[in-house]
Amino acid sequence: EAGVTQFPSHSVIEKGQTVTLRCDPISGHDNLYWYRRVMGKEIKFLLHFVKESKQDESGMPNNRFLAERTGGTYSTLKVQPAELEDSGVYFCASSHLDRNEKGYTFGSGTRLTVV
């Protein structure tokens, strides 16, 4: 099966610009997660979708971040306007609705650099 796909793999934008990250989960995976790793720190939870519904968005840093998952398939994460501290690697992950003993399947991440 195809894995979790993230696009773009890299993005360099200026402070104040807008960037949209996309994640295509594994087909049939109802759970979709966004995580972020900043400066070699922990992989930090941002939010969790179950199908098209936001189950938990407690990790979203502020209202400059907007995530959507229209139709319960792919998801987008928009940062508007971007700030320097938003730089990091944004990972998307997906899993089946039932508890998955092997955790999530991660995408390769999008490395965002805000200059």
Partner 1 sequence: DQQVKQNSPSLSVQEGRISILNCDYTNSMFDYFLWYKKYPAEGPTFLISISSIKDKNEDGRFTVFLNKSAKHLSLHIVPSQPGDSAVYFCAAIEYNYGQNFVFGPGTRLSVLP
Amino acid (one-letter) located at 19: V
55 versus 113: smaller Cβ distance to partner 1: 55
How far is it, in rounded angstroms, from Cα 88 to Cα 36? Answer: 7
x/- track of binding to partner 1 for residues 52-71 (CB under 8 A):
---xx---------------
The minimum distance between CB 91 and partner 1, in angstroms, equals 6
x/- track of binding to partner 1 for residues 78-97 (CB under 8 A):
-------------x-x----
The minimum distance between CB 106 and partner 1, in angstroms, equals 3
Pairing mode, if any, of strands 75-79 and 53-56? Answer: unpaired
